[in-house]
Amino acid sequence: MMNFLNIFYQFLALVLASFIFWHRLKEDYQGEPIFTLSVLILTAGYFGKRFWGIQAGVLGAALVLILYSNKAKLNPWLVADAAVLPILIIGLAYNLAGLLFEYALWRLVVVLILVFNLFLSLKLQKSYRSISWYKSGKVGFLACIACVAFFSPFLVLEFILKKALYWQLSLNLVLVLSSSVLLYKRSERKLREDFKKVTSIFKKNGKISISS
């Protein structure tokens, strides 16, 4: 009975996530490529996570998203942003079900990180274009931020506890750094200009401290 409830609960989350994904993209694309892409993302993410861990699941889903988007002439950044909430919902449902039926501290940590990311994504999905730092307002912001916000806590915890395998720690670091670089590139900020602003702040603070 418990297994049936677990499967039913996750099935409802899958239906809800699929509906949100379709609803986010229905005005830009037809239903068939959205459905095909959602199946491919879920399949790649599931088998990647099952056999090699959550990092591989995310990388597999991202690779499928890019390849199919290019083939079907979809905007991969728009699709990636649309996939953030559905993926978080499915991940939360899966780990909540596991937590309810079999308690584990690591799963509780995952649930808390997912809840934080879910609220962060909901808050930013309509307001990120008004953030002064993100000058371009381009799509892709949510996907990059979600990746950084999700894997950074794992990176810190694994580094402190020293329980993760080397390749897992390395993959988390790669995901956080690459997402941060992509986010900066999508913002269309100029590295030279930002560097000058930072150095001018340090120079100004240095003068103040010397004169005082």
Using pLDDT thresholds of 50, 70 and 90, give the confidence band for residue 164.
low
Over pLDDT 70: what percentage of the chain?
91
User: What's the mean per-residue pLDDT of the chain?
Assistant: 86
Please tell me the predicted confidence (pLDDT) of residue 198.
77
Q: Tokens in use for 65?
A: 């998203």
Q: What would the mean pLDDT of 9-37 be, rounded to a whole number? A: 87
The per-residue pLDDT for range 64-75, each reduced to its tens digit, is 999 999 999 999
Q: Provide the pLDDT for residue 209.
A: 45
Q: Residue range 168-196: average pLDDT?
A: 89
Band of residue 184 on the pLDDT scale cut at 50, 70, 90: very high
pLDDT tops 90 at residue 160: no
Query: Where exactly are the structural domains of the chain?
Result: 2-211
The pair of structure tokens assigned to 149 is 């916000």
- What pLDDT score was predicted for residue 176? 95
Quick one: average pLDDT of 118-122? 94
The per-residue pLDDT for 1 is 56
Q: Which of the pair, 51 or 7, is modelled with greater confidence?
A: 51
Q: Indicate left, alpha or beta for 22 from its phi (over 0: left) and psi (-120 to 50: alpha).
A: alpha
Tell the residue number behind the tokens 């609960």, with chain if given.
9
pLDDT of residue 195: 79
Is the confidence at residue 5, as pLDDT, over 70? Answer: no
Helix (H, G, I), strand (E, B) or coil at 199: helix
Can you tell me the distance from the alpha carbon of 62 to that of 45, in angstroms, rounded to the nearest whole number? Answer: 9
**pTM of this prediction?**
0.85
Closest CA to 93 of 120, 109, 115, 64: 115
pLDDT confidence of residue 70: 93
pLDDT at 208 (0 to 100): 43
pLDDT at 212: 39
d(CA 54, CA 94): 12
pLDDT(27) > 60 = yes
Q: How confident is the model at residue 136 (pLDDT cuts 50, 70, 90)?
A: very high
